[in-house]
Amino acid sequence: MTLSADMQLQLGSFRLAAKITAPGNAITVLFGPSGSGKSTLLSILAGLRPADDDDIRLNDHRLSGLPPHQRGLGLVFQDARLFPHLTVRQNIAYAWSRAPREKRPGIEAVAKFFDIDKQLDRPVTNLSGGEKSRVALARAVAAAPDFLLLDEPFAALDGARRRAFIQVLMDMHRNYHLPMIVVTHNIDDAAALASHLVALKEGKVVAQGTFTDASRAPQFQALLDSADVGTAMPPSSLRSSHGGQSLWIRADQVLLAAEEPRAVSARNVLAGEVRAVTAQDDGSRLVELETERGPVLSRITPEAARDLGLERGKKAWALVKAHAL
């Protein structure tokens, strides 16, 4: 199953013109700074707002022109949008009773999966923020959508609760074989979730493909704050217990050594070869190192670059600071 869309929308001086593909066996992250049109794109996919022109397809089935309730796409909003006149169970049942019989999971099982089975008969008006988010997810899953769209569902969470929520999304994707498109502008969340990436800037797609490849594109790196420039690495290659798809290793978290370091505090030392050294706007040097576990970026001072004699083809060691893992 593949969700593909080609859409155009003019909104004042803002123009959304995007052609995207989201594979059915993956979590696709729709990444971009605020105002890049991510939420608008999701609304158009779901049929909640009209585009000037769109061609949206699920495999060969054309969704464009269908009203939202006939598209079979779920959408989880930033705010949970639970129905205040219904209990937790009734909110989930609202979705469940309208879902195709052969696809829908049981209400009790879904409630258990999202750890809200103790709250089933409570009114939704006095749940905590985290509970509300989980009820919204449970309700979306109970609707048995062909594709689930999530619009920054963890924007209001922070720290440990945010990581826990991302883990819930990953588990949900695996357990229910639910293809998802998740909107975020946070690079750590994107790396943790994404196997596929669509990057938007000012309404245009600037990079698209597997997360590992698309996140290396210069157009994608240009979207990031300079402090966030970095590379994605699988947690296993860095001896990390992180449960996500990839870890985002920022260039500022990587030290370079011209000789193999021995007694160092960094837990991970990767040997590699310098591919490129580029001067940044702030004068620092961005060094791209090809290691045995993939490319790594490191930001160093021009003095350090000169002292280490770093140039293309030279051998070097990258030291990834443990707090990055």
Partner 1 sequence: MLSAVEIQVLSTSFSVAFWAVFLSLPPAIAMAFLLSRHFSGKLALDGLVHLPVILPPVLTGFLLLLLFGRRGPIGVFLEQAFGVHLAFTRQGAILATAVMTFPLLVRAIRIAFEAADARLFAAAAVLRASPADRFLTIALPLAAPGILAGAVTAFAAGMGEFGAVITFAANIPGRTQTLPLAIYSVMQQPGGEAQALRLALMSFILAMAGLVGAELLQRRMLRRLRG
The site for partner 1 (CB under 8 A) is made up of 46-48, 67-75, 77, 79, 81, 83-85, 94-95, 98-99, 123-126, 139-140, 143, 145
Q: Which is nearer to partner 1, 95 or 198 (CB)?
A: 95
CB of 198 to partner 1, least distance (A): 20
283 sits in the region (left: phi over 0; alpha: psi -120 to 50; else beta) called: left
Q: Which is nearer to partner 1, 85 or 239 (CB)?
A: 85
Rounded Cα distance, 45 and 43, in Å: 5
Q: Which is nearer to partner 1, 51 or 95 (CB)?
A: 95
CB of 208 to partner 1, least distance (A): 24
Q: Would you give the DSSP letter of residue 153?
A: T
DSSP assignment of 49-96: S--SEEEEEETTEE-TTS-GGGS-EEEE-SS----TTSBHHHHHHHHH
Q: Which is nearer to partner 1, 85 or 177 (CB)?
A: 85
DSSP assignment of 296-317: EEEEE-HHHHHHHT--TT-EEE
CB of 132 to partner 1, least distance (A): 11
Q: Which is nearer to partner 1, 45 or 192 (CB)?
A: 45
Give residue for tokens 């030392």.
269
CB of 27 to partner 1, least distance (A): 19
Element (H, E) at 230: strand 230-233
CB of 95 to partner 1, least distance (A): 4
